[in-house]
Copies of this chain bind each other. A is one copy, B any other.
Amino acid sequence: MFFHIKELQYNAKPERPDPLFAKKLQEVLGGQFGEISVFMQYLFQGWNFRGEQKYKDMLLDIGTEEIGHVEMLATMIAQLLDGAPANVQEEAAKDPVIEAVLGGMNPQHVIVSGLGASPTDSVGYPWNSRYIISSGNILADFRANLNAESQGRLQVVRLYESTTDPGVRDLLSFLIARDTMHQNQWMAAIEELEQKEKSPVVPSTFPRELEIQDVSYKFMSFSKGTESSEGRWAKGPSMDKQGQFEYVENPTAMGQVPILNQAPAYIHNTPVPGQPAPEAEKSHYQPPKG
What distance in Å separates the Cβ of A231 from its nearest Cβ neighbour in chain B? 6
Across the interface, do A266 and B87 meet the contact criterion of CB distance under 8 Å?
yes
Across the interface, do A150 and B158 meet the contact criterion of CB distance under 8 Å?
no
Closest 8 CB pairs of A and B: A103-B104, A114-B136, A48-B116, A8-B255, A123-B124, A93-B290, A7-B253, A119-B129
Give Cα A245 to B191, complex, Å.
15
Q: A115-B136, A227-B57, A283-B82 are in contact. Are A12 and B104 (CB under 8 A)?
A: no
What distance in Å separates the Cβ of A33 from its nearest Cβ neighbour in chain B? 8
Residue interface bits A152-173, CB-to-B below 8 A is 1, else 0: 0111011111111100000001
Give Cα A123 to B23, complex, Å.
12
Q: Is A35 an interface residue (CB 8 A)?
A: no
Cβ contacts under 8 Å, A89 to chain B: 21, 162-165, 288
Cβ contacts under 8 Å, A273 to chain B: 52, 196
**Chain copies in the assembled complex:** 6
Residue interface bits A204-232, CB-to-B below 8 A is 1, else 0: 11100011111111111111111110111
Give Cα A2 to B4, complex, Å.
4
User: Residue on B with the closest CB to A248?
Assistant: B61
Across the interface, do B265 and A129 meet the contact criterion of CB distance under 8 Å?
no
Across the interface, do A97 and B96 meet the contact criterion of CB distance under 8 Å?
yes
Across the interface, do A87 and B280 meet the contact criterion of CB distance under 8 Å?
yes
Across the interface, do B117 and A44 meet the contact criterion of CB distance under 8 Å?
yes
Within residues 93 to 140 of chain A, which ones have a CB less than 8 A from any CB in chain B?
Answer: 93-94, 96-108, 110-140
Partner of A103, one of B100, B184, B215: B100
Residue interface bits A1-45, CB-to-B below 8 A is 1, else 0: 111111111111100111111011001001111001000100110
Cβ contacts under 8 Å, A144 to chain B: 147, 150-151
Across the interface, do A134 and B162 meet the contact criterion of CB distance under 8 Å?
no
User: Residue on B with the closest CB to A107?
Assistant: B122
